[in-house]
Amino acid sequence: QVQLVGSGGGLVQAGDSLMLSCTNSGQTLSGYDLTGFDMGWFREAPGKEREFVASIRSKPNTRDYADFVKGRFTISFDNAKNTLYLQMNNLKPEDTAVYYCTADPRVQSVKSVSGWQYWGQGAQVTVSP
């Protein structure tokens, strides 16, 4: 069972940076290793639907970003630490949301919420003007 645990949220000011982390506290078929999984980040703002932010596929090793975060956010996975990251720079008030990490052995559509099997508990990110 994959049990994702996200961390790193907080309250920052516009223009600041923040890094979110996500790791697996459960167990996969190959142990606790998330290597080989497709992984991503979504966010959900108050009154809005959960939306795609970024993803990283294992095969091929590709990254996708929502247009509204391109050039500001970077998704990465550290194999040694078995941890997914989302580096967020130049944050804007409209980035305020709960951010969820997600994983799937082989996601079909990275931008579809229903395409991902495992979800973390969410981390609140609040950006003040």
- 49/43 Cα distance (integer angstroms): 8
The residues pairing with 38 across neighbouring beta strands, listed in sequence order, are 104
pLDDT tens digits, 67-83: 999 999 999 999 888 89
Q: pLDDT tens, 14-43?
A: 999 999 999 988 766 556 678 889 999 999
Residue 56: CA atoms inside 13 Å, Cβ hemisphere, count? 18
Cα–Cα distance measured from residue 106 to residue 32, given in angstroms and rounded to the nearest whole number? 17
Token digits of residue 60: 């091929």
